[in-house]
Amino acid sequence: MLSSKIKNIIKKKNKKKIVCLTAYSKNVAEILDNHCDIVLVGDSLGSVLYNYDTTRKVSLGTMIEHSKSVKKGIKKSLMVVDMPYHTYRNPKEALKNAKKIIYETGCDAVKLEGGNKIIKIIKHLIKNKVQVMGHIGLLPQSQKGKFRFKGKNETEKNKIINDAKILSSSGVFSIVLECVEKSLAKQITKLIKVPTIGIGASVYCDGQVLVTDDLLGLNSTNFRFVKKYVNLRRIIDQSARLFKQEVIKKSFPKIKNSY
């Protein structure tokens, strides 16, 4: 049985774009909740918050603690949590960990990276009433070496199309397409019945997702697919500098800031 929140996401296909952003804490989630259909607790928190060189180092415990914080900021949007690396190596392990995530965080769904290769695992979760978001194209948990876009040659294209079809008919409620070439993203979006959510996968997807720290300009990363809507790094820098000046000059705290 699909929840009404999930049905609403699926209904948007071919009608309205789906808006998704990442959050790792309550304050950010609270703001995003006013604007997003989906808030994703992505394992990108490994690189964004912990400076890990790979998302493989993110643990289940870390994902759960951040998700508990995010949940406190969410009223309306659908909350999805990434299952970290090595927490879904077989159907039994995946179900145990997905249930733990859902039970401890109160999220609506989990996201797993992979297509045909993990289809038995995904089907087992769905059969056991776990709502699943798919993720194909570039898979950070499996990627070795430099990130590059997917769909360059026929073999790669056919594999991604096949993954999308298999996932869609398995019952996932949406699929993230990461760094997928635009004509391929367009073709997949037309072909499958569930919404595609793109990151670096063109305007043709049914929705878009970005890492919030990237669009806020908090990261020094410079991916082609990211648009920085504000330079929060600069704003924080200016605020800290001003605070320092005022503390030194003793113009802060004022009477109104004191008891």
Indicate which residues carry an active-site annotation.
178
SS3 for 150?
strand
Q: Which residues bind ligand KIV (CB under 6 A)?
A: 22, 40, 42-44, 82, 176, 199, 209, 211
Nearer residue to ligand KIV within complex by CB, 134 or 168 = 134
- Which residue type is seen at 108? D
Rounded to the nearest whole angstrom, what is the least distance from the CB of residue 259 to ligand KIV in the complex? Answer: 42
- Which residue type is seen at 166? I
Nearer residue to ligand KIV within complex by CB, 111 or 124 = 111
Rounded to the nearest whole angstrom, what is the least distance from the CB of residue 54 to ligand KIV in the complex? Answer: 12
Nearer residue to ligand KIV within complex by CB, 172 or 211 = 211
Residues 6+ apart with CB under 8 A from 220: 233
Rounded to the nearest whole angstrom, what is the least distance from the CB of residue 138 to ligand KIV in the complex? Answer: 9
Report the residue number whose CB is nearest to ligand KIV: 42
Rounded to the nearest whole angstrom, what is the least distance from the CB of residue 141 to ligand KIV in the complex? Answer: 9
Residues 6+ apart with CB under 8 A from 38: 9, 18, 19, 20, 77, 78, 79, 80, 174, 197, 207, 209
SS3 for 23?
coil
The span from the CA of 62 to the CA of 101, in Å, is: 11
Nearer residue to ligand KIV within complex by CB, 130 or 175 = 175
Structure tokens that stand for 225 in this block: 């697919």
